[in-house]
Amino acid sequence: MLRGLTTVTFFAEDLDAARTWYTTFLGIEPYFVREGGYLEWRVGDYQHELGIVNARFAPRPHGREPGGAIVYWAVDDLEAVFARLLELGATEYEKPVERGPGYVTASVTDPFGNVLGIMLNQHYRDVLAASGNKASAG
């Protein structure tokens, strides 16, 4: 039985640039650093992990073009986060699209070739509300 996401792993050939870019976007430093090889941040309400592997040591499984699975991170203001990502140098992969009432997705390609998805997700908000986390459930 799946219990939940633990770590989402991206790849970057320039780990220092990826550290700077993601630290700027997330507003926090990585909590785990293996110099020259791996970075990891704990993100969000449930401290899910976003890891970045030095692609020189572990090439991305899908080659150089963006592709593979898209993981969507819950956000409270999709338009603002999407604009911030573009402002930081990401490129549009898929513009914001309403998928149904309470569900909007968008995705970007980060400067390192990874696809980063963001989502307004009513189910996520309902889970937060049920857990008593009213501040972020809005």
State pLDDT tens for residues 114-138.
999 999 999 999 998 998 876 554 4
Strand ranges, E, within 1-138: 7-12, 32-34, 38-43, 48-54, 72-74, 91-100, 103-109, 115-121
State mean pLDDT over 14-32. 97
CATH 3.10.180.10 domain range(s) in the chain: 69-138
Please report which confidence band the pLDDT of residue 2 belongs to, taking 50, 70 and 90 as the band edges. low
Fold topology of 69-138: 2,3-Dihydroxybiphenyl 1,2-Dioxygenase; domain 1 (3.10.180)
* pTM reported for the whole predicted model: 0.83
**CATH among 3.30.720.120, 3.40.640.10, 3.40.50.1980, 3.40.630.10 for 1-57:** 3.30.720.120
State mean pLDDT over 35-46. 93
State pLDDT tens for residues 53-93.
998 877 666 566 666 678 999 999 999 999 999 999 999 99
